[in-house]
Amino acid sequence: QVRVEGSVRRLPEEESERYFYSRPRSSQIGAVVSRQSSVIPDREYLRKRNAELEEKFRDAKVPKPQYWGGYILEPEVVEFWQGQTNRLHDRIVFRRLRD
């Protein structure tokens, strides 16, 4: 198990767009097909929708979805925890030092 504490901010739109278009075309289409956390009826729906979008954007740029973006995490604490069968667990914590 890994736990991270720190400040998080949304990635600026320009950086999100630059990253989106640096990804393989199949990943761009996948981002449009399966919006994260949305309910998907079944795998066949994904396959069919993916094929439709492959055809639709065959000769065109895949538009970055408005909802697609990223976050920047500036970690202050990183904790690694590994459970042991005898309950003598391993826990290692790293903290950022400030000047």
pLDDT per residue as tens digits for the range 18-47: 999 999 999 999 999 988 788 888 999 999
- DSSP H/E element including 2: strand 2-10
pTM for the full model? 0.70
pLDDT at 23: 97
pLDDT per residue as tens digits for the range 79-93: 999 999 888 999 999
Q: Is 96 a catalytic residue?
A: no
Give me the CATH number covering residue 78: 2.30.110.10
Domain that includes residue 33, residue range: 2-95
Mean pLDDT of the region 45-50: 94
Which residue of the set 9, 43, 87, 98 is catalytic? 87
Number of domain units in the chain: 1
Mean pLDDT of the region 54-77: 95
